[in-house]
Structure 1
Amino acid sequence: MIEAHPGSATVVEADSLTTLRPAEWEPLQAAHVARVDLLLADHLDRRRRREPHPVEDFLFTYYPTRPNQLRVWHPGPGIRLLGAPQYEGKRGYLYAGGAAQLDPDEIARRTESISWIRALLTATVGRPAQFGCFGLHEWAMVYRQQSEEVRHSWPLRLGAEGTDRVVESHKIACSHFDAFRFFTEPARPLNVLQPTREAQPALEQGGCLHANMDLYKWASKLMPFTPSSLVLDCFELARDIRALDMRASPYDFADLGYDPIPIETAAGKATYAAAQRSFAERARHLRVRLVDLCNQLLPL
């Protein structure tokens, strides 16, 4: 998994690494920074204005990776960068002889974490995707709540009683622990599964919106080993899924430009499932790339 494309550049092979000179890797770094700045421009503008956004802020409040961390370019395994003193002393890098590369000792220190992520992603890739949840996890998070308890200060599209009726008239089948843990107490017994952190590798499946958003989390947790292009591909997927998740939620975000998907109707269910399948296919490719990365770091 090499982000740089040595076939289009003059390279120096040494010790099984592809060594890039500054004239070769600096344009790759600049392209990455430009991509990040474009992706984050609206968020950073709102942050400067102290203007919260209930949909897009999720990627920066729920997930721990900060914008300045995303701007740091990581070439990934198998690459040595000549003349890159900015990586000296940076965690995960070994800087010697005027060149930077990933530190094998850091990989060894994180073996347990890398192995756990690989096991989770591998199990998910091998499990059939399910498309019958219709985003009801968000509805279960506000089930029977008082108005002052609802997380977002936005109106419920069907009101509290209408929202509760949707939950009670559907089968709730959430397989994702980090969604299930936000269910209200009355909603938890209604779920056909009772996910736990320990059971996560046995339950997670590739149709789940939250499992697919979490590819951004796993790509970030594997930094600096993850090529930055892969991190941003996962970020873009998570951003797009978040929009679907909120359009299908009980909240009314129409004033923000998010047309509701009424999953309480047959047409809404069909729209949601079609989008879910498309995201699952995008996620499958990214999940395989992350498994390949883990296998590079820790050969089987």
Structure 2
Amino acid sequence: MSWLNRVRQSIPFLPKRETSDVLWHKCPQCEAMVFTKEFEENLSVCPRCGHHGRIGPKKRFDLLFDPGWETLSPPQTREDPLKFRDSKRYTDRIKAARSATGEQDALINARGAVEGRRAVIGVQDFAFMGGSMGLGVGAAFLEGARAAIAERVPYIVFTAAGGARMQEGILSLMQMPRTTVAIAELKEAGLPYIVVLTDPTTGGVTASYAMLGDVQIAEPGALIGFAGQRVIESTIREKLPEGFQRAEYLLEHGMIDMVVPRAELRHRLAQLVEYLQPRDSAA
């Protein structure tokens, strides 16, 4: 044993203190260190630069609904229809995602009131396999739309996805026309369909229900697009503009209707519902 090892072993190191609370949050945009409590109290928005962090369905519902909201039961769908396996079995990936998020799949619906106006809201959870769209997401979207039709209320969807779920192949792509039909049913019933695009919304989700709303809203700085920026640049062999595929760029070029900070979303949605479905027509 060398003298260095003997010295190191003789020093009484204190055990590392374990804590369940992470005291600091590092903003991915400005890299400022913010107290986690301050970050959460600010609705998971950086108080220094305004970067909007990703949040899950339960927190989103708490921010939007009046007290007393309830989640809709997730629909049962066939799991692993293609018996897919890459470095892991698909069933193992699903189990890990459910264990980490506590949710059945990437889209969760709930019913409740937004400033006194009834609505059904669906929220995609990017933490569940990147919010990818598969059979479960398609079925949940259909259930949410039909629940809204049954209750004669608007359907509001918060998107966050990397696109279709590759482990389900063509079946995941079939959710694009399936969700489009559900939106057509909403329109036929004369009910508002509002989309809030959050970071990130890409791929097949953008190519289907994410861009078919009566009103298109986005959170500040949200990444919104179909293909990735590097793929586009390599295809067209041109450098893309600064901020391309960000919410503010899309607003400037007419792709979306408004960019609304998270703190103002609840009131803005209530205003839109009141405008699109006045109380007398809802009754």
Relative to the length of structure 2, the TM-score reads 0.23
Higher share in strand: 2
Higher share in helix: 1
Structure with larger RCO (C-alpha < 8 A, sep 6+)? 1
Relative to the length of structure 1, the TM-score reads 0.22
